Structure 1
């Protein structure tokens, strides 16, 4: 009721053509996005290594950083949004070090690998970038922030991952 009264007070003094223009300006972006949906992608980085990843990049798209795998979760935050309309991407990442690793002589390293982008279903919005100790990179689409390859277990998972790289 108050909204109708307020709209009448604002729109009544305006000419009809201006009222129509305002309504079109307000609702045309909504209609455009409904008719022509965007192919934007959000990115989630998953680190399956015992070393932190200080940055990861798909072609020219920064997809985040991630702490070393702690045995409980491999996922980082979501980086949003960019369009990704390719069949292959060049994945570059920088393996960083923890203080204990630095003290033992391990230093940061840059890695790179070309990876095929899997097929995307209509509802998929998140591209999960999984980086493993043997420089393997796997990409997985998902409707949610959870990936089918995401590890959420415990100490035995950490021992398995770190045991593979050592």
Structure 2
């Protein structure tokens, strides 16, 4: 009620064309951002390495981590992390390969990795970007409508 009174006090003395211009100036940036900005994506990380991987980042956005892969099934999977924008086709992927206790006792130590990769073209209805890391430090991405993986 106070807001309506205040708006009427400010807008009533102005001509209609100026009222319309003020409203367009206020709402057009919001409409532009909603219409033309990159869509949000959810990220699902899959580990196909026999060592735990943590601190996985895609362009600085943390997308999770996963336990060591046991050799069975589609890889150890972290949860779905929501939401982030992907504004470019090439992104920087960083991750830290950790160790289990037995691997540590065998002399292995954690190490950080960095890779520039291209994101595949995104179909309009796909929300989940699956990030797969394999033993030879190869990375594969694919878009999906669900958190299930094809690999």
State the TM bucket, normalised to the shorter chain.
0.7 to 0.9
Structure 1's 60 and 87: CA in aligned 2 closer, same or farther, altered over 3 A?
A: same
Question: Structure 1, residues 105-126: CA drift from partner, whole Å, max 9, x if none?
Answer: 0000111111100010011100
What is the number of equivalent residue pairs in this alignment?
120
Structure with the bigger percentage of strand: 2
SS across alignment from 2:130:
strand
Gaps of 5+ in 1: 1-13, 19-31, 150-166
Give 1:73 deviation, angstroms.
Answer: 4.3
TM-score, with length taken from structure 1 = 0.67
Aligned-residue CA RMSD (Å): 2.0
In structure 2, runs of 5+ residues without a counterpart are 6-30
Q: Between 89-98 and 140-149, report the one with greater CA deviation.
A: 140-149
Runs of 4+ in structure 1 off by over 2 angstroms are 35-38
**TM-score, reference length from structure 2:** 0.73
Aligned to 1:160: none
Q: Deviations over 1:39-89 (max 9, x none)?
A: 100000000000000210011110101000122342210110011111101
